[in-house]
Amino acid sequence: MSWKKSALVATAGLLTFWISSSHRPEEGMFPLNYLNETELKQAGLQLDADDIFNPEAISLTNALVNVGGCTGSFISNEGLIITNHHCVYGSVAKLSTPEQNYLENGFIARNHSEELQVPIPCKVLQSYEDVSDRVLQGLEAITDPMVRAQTIQDNIKSIAEKDQTENPELKVEISEMFVGRSYTLFRYIYLQDVRLVMAPPLTIGQFGGDTDNWEWPRHNGDFSLVRAYVGPDGKPAPYSEDNIPYTPQKFLKINPAGTKEGDFVFIMGYPGRTFRHESAAYLAFQEEHHLPRIQQGFKYQIDAIKRHTEGNTAEQLAFAGTVQSLENTEKNYRGKIQGLRRTHLVEQRKMEEDAILEWCKQKANDRGTKVIEDIRSIWAQRDAMAPVYYNYLLMNRQSTVLRTLNQLAQLEFKSPESFQDEEALQTILGTYKLNNVALERDLVVHLLNAQNEANGFSYKSADAFLAQKSQQGDRNFFQSSYVQSLTTNPNAILKDPLYQLTRPMMLRSAEIANQWKDQETLLQSLMPQYTQLRLEFQESLGGDHRFVPDANSTLRLTYGYVKAYSPNDGEVHYPYTTLDGMFEKANTRPDYRLPAETADRLRKDNVPALFKDPKTGKIVVGLLYNMDTTGGNSGSPILNAAGELIGVNFDRSFTATINDYAWNEQYSRSIGCDIRYVLYVLKYVSEADHILQELGIQIP
C-alpha cells in the first residue's frame, strides 16, 4: 500500500486520533505508515513522505536498522552501520583484556579482516501488513475482558506462526500498535553476523560517565561503527569467515555541514515503550513503588560491585556492561521520580480521571465507571504487595545463589517427583558459576534481610546465619563444585541449611508474584476500554486535542527543531556544546578523566571550518533538540530537512526522562552526538581515513 493510500485509510478509519490538527508537532513517535505529510512539510521537511517510507519502493526506511534493541543506520553500501558507543559497550568490554583493553583505548579495524565479531544481531524492516482484522476476528461476541485478551494473544500467535512458515528467511513479529484495536505484522531481515569496526576510547565515548549521563550540556562522542555480513550467496547467515559485507538497499548520506539553531530535524528509530495513556493509579504506583524500589535496589548492587572489584581491571571489565546498564536505569529512574514530583502528573491525571468518572455517571455509563474502579482497586492491592514483590524480583535478578535456591524451591513445590528428576536439576545447577564470591555473599545477605523485613521479620536474619555457617566452613552454595554435585543428590539439597532457610520465603514470594501476574493480565485486558474511554472523553470536550500513539519497539518517526531550553529557573541552555567545554571539564572529577594522549589527539591546530559552529567558531561536540524519543532510540540517525545524516541520538536530558509518561515542550529535550564530532573523532583520534573514504567524506 502506498503512503497516500495509507493516509486515506488513516483519516477515514480508527486511527484518526494519531493525526490530530494540534499545533504541537514535536510530540509523538509516529508509525511510518501514518505520517501526516502536510504537517511534516509545514514543519520544515523538504522530502515527500514517500521518500521516507514507501513499501513499494526504496526509501529512507530501508537504511534503518534495529541493532540489538538500539537503533542504527547504514552509512555505506558495504553494510557499515553507525550506532551508539553505549549500545556496543558491553560487547567491547567482553572483547577486552587488561593487556588489550579496547574499551579503554578504543578500537579501529584497519581492514575487514581485523573486524571483531559481536553478539548484536541486527534487524532490517522488509515489509509489513496491517493484521488488525485478523487479530480481532471473532471478538465481537466476547465481552469478558480476560477472555478477549487471551483470544487476541492466541490469534496473534497463530497468524505469526503461519507467516513465519511462509517466510522462513525473515523474522516475523506482530506488534500491538494501539491497545486492543490495531495490530501490524512486521517482517525483518535478520542479520546475525555483525562485527565491530570502530569504537572510540572510553574517555571519548563515555566522557562524563554517570555524572553527565541523562544531562545537558554533554561532551561525549557516544557513537560506534559495526558492519553486517551475509553468506556468500547474499543471504543472512551465522558468522563464518567466508561471509561478505551486506549490501543494504539504502544507506544514508552524511551532511558534514551539520545544523544550526532552529533547524528542522527528524529522527527515525525503534523507541522502546512509553506509557502516555496510563491510569492515575498506575502513575502513582510508579512514583511510590516501582521507580524508588528498583532505583534503590540497583544503587545497592552498583555500589557493591564497585566495592568488590576495586583495583582489579579484569574483574571490572567483566562487570563493566552490567554496571553501565544498572547506572543508566538507576539515574533514569531518579529523573523520572523528580519529574513526577515536579510536574504533579499524578494529581493531574487523577483530576482528569475523576472528571471522566463524573461524565460516565452523568451518562449512566456503568461499564466505564467499573473499568476505572477496577483499575484503581488492582493498584491498591498492589500497594500492599509491592515490598515483597520487588524484593523477590531483585533477588532473582541480582543473585545467582538466590535465583538458584528459588528455582529449586519452586521445583520441589511443583511436586516432590520433579525434584528427583535429574535432568530438571541439571538444567538449574549444571552451569552454576559465581563470578565474585564476596560480592555474591554481600548481595545475598542484603537481599535476604530486605525480604525478611518486607515480610515483617518472619524469617531468620541472614547475616548472623551466614556468618555462623561460614565460620563452620561447611560446603555450601557459594562453591560451584558443591552446587554441581547436587545434580545427582537431591537429598543433600533438602538438608542444606541455606536451602532450608530460604525455602519458605521463596514459596511465599512466588505466591505473591503469581497473584501479580494474574492482576497484570486483568489490567492488560482493561486497558483497551480505559483508553477508549479517555479518547471519547477528550472528543466530547471538542477543540484541539492530541492522542499520540505509545512507542512499542517498532519503527517510528519523530520531528522537531535544534532548540535551546530552560530546565530550571534562571537557566537557559544553548543547543550545542564544543570541545572547549570538554577541555574545561577535563580531569576535574573521575568521570571527566581525559588522558593526555587522547587530549593531544583531540587538540589540533588549523582545524577546518567544517567542524566548527559558525556562531561560536568552536568545534562542535553535542546537540540538543526537542524531539520526542525514548530508550531504543539510542543510536537513531538525526536527519535534516533533506533526509541527510547530521547526528546520532543517544540520550535525553534529566528533565526529559519523564517523557515516557508525559511529553512537554518545556522540559523534553533529546541529546545527540553531532556528525561534525563523529567525523572529527574518526579523522583525528581513530585516524580512520579509510572509513572516511568509505563514507565518501573529503576533509580538506
Q: Rule CB under 6 A: is residue 404 a binding residue for ligand ASP? A: no
Q: Rule CB under 6 A: is residue 509 a binding residue for ligand ASP? A: no
Distance CA 7, CA 194 (A): 36
Q: Closest separation between CB of residue 87 and ligand ASP, Å? A: 9
Beta carbons of 87 and 68 less than 8 angstroms apart = yes
Among 182, 279, 369, 634, binds ligand ASP (CB under 6 A): 634
Q: Closest separation between CB of residue 321 and ligand ASP, Å? A: 13
Beta carbons of 32 and 556 less than 8 angstroms apart = yes
Q: Rule CB under 6 A: is residue 635 a binding residue for ligand ASP? A: no
Among 26, 442, 613, 651, binds ligand ASP (CB under 6 A): 651
Distance CA 389, CA 294 (A): 11
CB-nearer residue toward ligand ASP: 15 or 268:
268
Residue 172, strand partner residues: 187
CB-nearer residue toward ligand ASP: 613 or 651:
651
CB-nearer residue toward ligand ASP: 652 or 683:
652
Find where cell 564476596 sits.
438
Among 132, 220, 301, 633, binds ligand ASP (CB under 6 A): 633
Rule CB under 6 A: which of 428-447 touch ligand ASP?
none
- Measured between alpha carbons, how far is residue 679 from residues 142, 182, 439, 613, 625 in Å? 58, 42, 41, 14, 20
Q: What is the largest CA-CA distance in the chain?
A: 77
Q: Rule CB under 6 A: is residue 208 a binding residue for ligand ASP? A: no
Distance CA 255, CA 675 (A): 8
Q: Closest separation between CB of residue 335 and ligand ASP, Å? A: 10
Q: Rule CB under 6 A: is residue 54 a binding residue for ligand ASP? A: no
What phi, psi does 129 have (nearest 5°)?
-155, 135
> Which segment (256-264, 282-290, 576-584, 645-653) binds ligand ASP by CB under 6 A?
645-653
DSSP state of 112: G
Rule CB under 6 A: which of 601-630 touch ligand ASP?
629-630
Among 59, 132, 301, 328, binds ligand ASP (CB under 6 A): 328
CB-nearer residue toward ligand ASP: 446 or 652:
652
- State the number of CA atoms in the 13 A half-sphere of 516 facing the CB: 17
**One-letter identity of residue 577:** T
Label each residue of 380-446 as H, E or C: HHHHHHHHHHHHHHHHHHHCHHHHHHHHHHHHHHHCHHHHHCHHHHHHHHCCCCCCCHHHHHHHHHH
Of the chain, the end-to-end C-alpha distance in Å amounts to 45
The number of residues that bind ligand ASP (CB under 6 A) is 9
**One-letter identity of residue 609:** A
Among 25, 72, 631, 647, binds ligand ASP (CB under 6 A): 631
CB-nearer residue toward ligand ASP: 406 or 629:
629
Beta carbons of 193 and 243 less than 8 angstroms apart = yes
3-state secondary structure of 306: helix
Q: Closest separation between CB of residue 649 and ligand ASP, Å? A: 7
Find where cell 587488561 sits.
98
Distance CA 518, CA 521 (A): 5
The DSSP bridge pattern shows strands 670-674 and 645-652 to be: antiparallel
CB-nearer residue toward ligand ASP: 328 or 598:
328
Q: Closest separation between CB of residue 70 and ligand ASP, Å? A: 8
Residue of closest CB approach to ligand ASP: 631
Q: Rule CB under 6 A: is residue 115 a binding residue for ligand ASP? A: no
Q: Rule CB under 6 A: is residue 279 a binding residue for ligand ASP? A: no
Q: Rule CB under 6 A: is residue 652 a binding residue for ligand ASP? A: yes
Q: Rule CB under 6 A: is residue 295 a binding residue for ligand ASP? A: no
Beta carbons of 700 and 281 less than 8 angstroms apart = no
Q: Closest separation between CB of residue 253 and ligand ASP, Å? A: 25
CB-nearer residue toward ligand ASP: 145 or 631:
631
Site string for ligand ASP, 6-45 (x = CB under 6 A): ----------------------------------------
Q: Closest separation between CB of residue 326 and ligand ASP, Å? A: 12
Q: Closest separation between CB of residue 669 and ligand ASP, Å? A: 10
Q: Rule CB under 6 A: is residue 647 a binding residue for ligand ASP? A: no
> How many CB atoms are located within 10 Å of the residue 673 CB?
30
Distance CA 477, CA 492 (A): 12
Q: Rule CB under 6 A: is residue 224 a binding residue for ligand ASP? A: no
Q: Closest separation between CB of residue 653 and ligand ASP, Å? A: 9
Q: Where are the beta strands (DSSP E) in 641-688?
A: 645-652, 670-674
Q: Rule CB under 6 A: is residue 66 a binding residue for ligand ASP? A: no
Q: Where on the chain is the footprint of ligand ASP (CB under 6 A)?
A: 328, 629-631, 633-634, 650-652
